[in-house]
Amino acid sequence: MTTEKEEGRIPLADLLVFHQLARSLTSSFDLDTILRTILDHMERTVEAELWTLLMLDDATQELYYAIAAGGEQDALRDLRVKVGEGVAGWVVQHGETLIVPEAEDDPRLKKTRKVRSIIALPLRGRKGTHGVIEIFNPRSNQMTDYTIAFLHILADHAAIAIENARDVAHIHQLTITDDTTGLFNVRHLYDVLGRELERSNRTRQPVSLAFLDLDRFKQVNDAHGHLVGSELLARTGQRLQELSRKQDICFRYGGDEFVLLMTETDAKTALAQADALLCALMKTRFEMKNGLKLTVSASIGVASAPDDGTTLHAVIGAADTRMYMVKGNGRGQVKGA
């Protein structure tokens, strides 16, 4: 009696696996969830000692271990593999599956963990190769043509899901990012500040906000044109990010107005941080593309929750009011409560 595999038909159990995989991968656009789903299905498909999934960092052209099974994720977390280096690097460079049934004499394994055998598959989609799945020391009776074909189908599904997740993330990023400065926009400010205020109410941790308005910015547009003005806004936004602490978030509120959100920061600390930021900002000389060198000054109002209120409009309103008080009192200063 012939089996389904011998007849060239896909067994019903495997069809159900594909169906479950497709449903799992299309039910979420969260990349971490998708990567975990991919690895879970690989574990069920092939018995092995270790399964890893590496993702390609396009900026550095290095692979990093995004997720691993087999108890070694912590050991692999900080490792990086260059394109062209080792098994994973070779797979990304060539965009091909690599199967090494006997690893002893393969030069691509000299810099990798000591293994007896390995299967490495590229996660290759419409936009290129995004990563590699590595299966270390699979059971020899599972390294069949049928199993490899099965894994290729899983990898193809996975690559599509990864691209879809990245596309959704990119679209979301566009909706919350200001085109001119690259900072988060006011819509995202309202979302983040709203969540931080809710958390502040629960935990009793303070949250502070600095409302910053560039002084006499209209004169830049009048004297040098709006292209220079837009460039200066972009460079100012970048400089604000550089001067902020890692935990702070910068936003462009609109026009020549910016907001610095400081989580878990009380009024006194926020005032000192805003003072230091303004001092450094005013000392910065921005060199424009046309060779023009410009500086900026700003008026800043600082407000904190719960001292100035516990709602979004109360905190922003208090900071905005103090910023206008600075405007009326000579500009280029910071005012808190």
Please write the tens of the pLDDT for every residue from 7-24.
556 666 666 666 666 666
Which pLDDT band, with edges at 50, 70 and 90, does 302 fall under?
Answer: very high
Which region among 114-123, 224-233, 262-271, 323-332 has the lowest average model confidence (pLDDT)?
A: 114-123
Instruction: Write down the pLDDT at residue 331.
Output: 95
Considering the segment(s) 12-175 as one domain, its CATH architecture is: 2-Layer Sandwich (3.30)
Which region among 113-117, 193-197, 318-322 has the lowest average model confidence (pLDDT)?
A: 113-117
Instruction: Write down the pLDDT at residue 72.
Output: 60
Instruction: Write down the pLDDT at residue 76.
Output: 76
Instruction: Write down the pLDDT at residue 17.
Output: 66
Percent of the chain at pLDDT exceeding 90: 55
Distance CA 252, CA 187 (A): 10
| Cβ pair 336, 271 in contact under 8 A | yes
Q: Which CATH number fits domain 186-335: 3.20.20.70, 3.40.50.1980, 3.30.70.270, 3.40.250.10?
A: 3.30.70.270
Query: What is the per-residue pLDDT across 113-145, written as a single tens digit (0 to 9) for each?
Result: 567 888 999 999 888 899 999 988 888 776 778
Which region among 53-67, 101-115, 152-166, 260-274 has the lowest average model confidence (pLDDT)?
A: 101-115
Tokens describing residue 264: 């878990």
Query: What Cα–Cα distance (Å) separates residue 119 from each residue in 70, 123, 131, 180?
Result: 16, 13, 14, 46
- Return the biggest CA–CA distance within the chain: 94
Instruction: Write down the pLDDT at residue 66.
Output: 86
Residue 332: pLDDT over 50: yes
Tokens describing residue 34: 């998708």
Percent of the chain at pLDDT exceeding 70: 86
- Helix 312-327 to helix 186-203 angle (10° resolution) is 120
Residue 40: pLDDT over 60: yes
Domain ranges of the chain: 12-175, 186-335
Residue 103: pLDDT over 70: no
Among candidates 210, 213, 211, 208, which has minimal Cα distance to 332? 213
Alpha-carbon dihedral sign for residues 111, 113, 114, 119: negative
Query: What is the per-residue pLDDT across 229-256, written as a single tens digit (0 to 9) for each?
Result: 999 999 999 999 999 999 999 999 999 9
